[in-house]
Amino acid sequence: MIEVHVAHLGLDQTTNSPVVLLREKDGERVLPIWIGPAEASAIAMELQGVKAQRPMTHDLLMHVIVGLGGELRRVTITSVRDNTYFAELLIRRDEHVVQVDARPSDSIALALRLHAPIFTTDDLLDHSGTETGPPAPERRLDAESLKQYLEKLDPQDFGRFTP
């Protein structure tokens, strides 16, 4: 498992879809994951330190985990199938450990709130790719091509997402 962090939350100008870029902690590889606007707002608010007047869904889940004596040990982006990414939450309470299937966007928003590490696999980092939108199996780029694509992005092409 490779630890990653949120390197950028942006708006793909070609698809008008929010995308979160996860970068490996001690490296250059990135994993782009296209997400929904509500989840992007939840991530952006936490990154910017903005607190909603009332608890949002991710805040509620955070309070439930902590209130029940649990601890989010880690989030893992586990796989991608048919252009859909999968993730797991690892929650510990006393000697009990529970793995919970979750969407990556929700998992990232929760990890940021609970200061939990985010991990993914070498395989996902090595085989993630994009051209102008969510990766399709027939247009995957290798890691070097993705790196070159991301380096050539104009800020206007890949704007910052704001809630």
pTM value surpassing 0.75:
yes
Give the span between the Cα atoms of 127 and 105, in whole angstroms: 19
CA distance 119 to 130: 20
Q: Average model confidence (pLDDT) for the chain? A: 84
For the stretch 12-37, pLDDT in tens is: 888 888 999 999 999 989 999 999 99
What pLDDT score was predicted for residue 145? 55
For the chain, list the domains and their CATH numbers: 2-160 (3.10.690.10)
Give per-residue pLDDT as tens, 89-104. 999 999 999 999 999 9
Q: With 70 as the cut, is the pLDDT of residue 154 above it?
A: no
Q: What is the pLDDT of residue 15?
A: 82
127-137 tens-digit pLDDT: 875 433 444 43
Burial class (CB in 10 A: 0-12, 13-18, 19+), 4: buried
> Mapping DSSP to helix (H, G, I), strand (E, B) and coil, where does residue 91 land?
strand
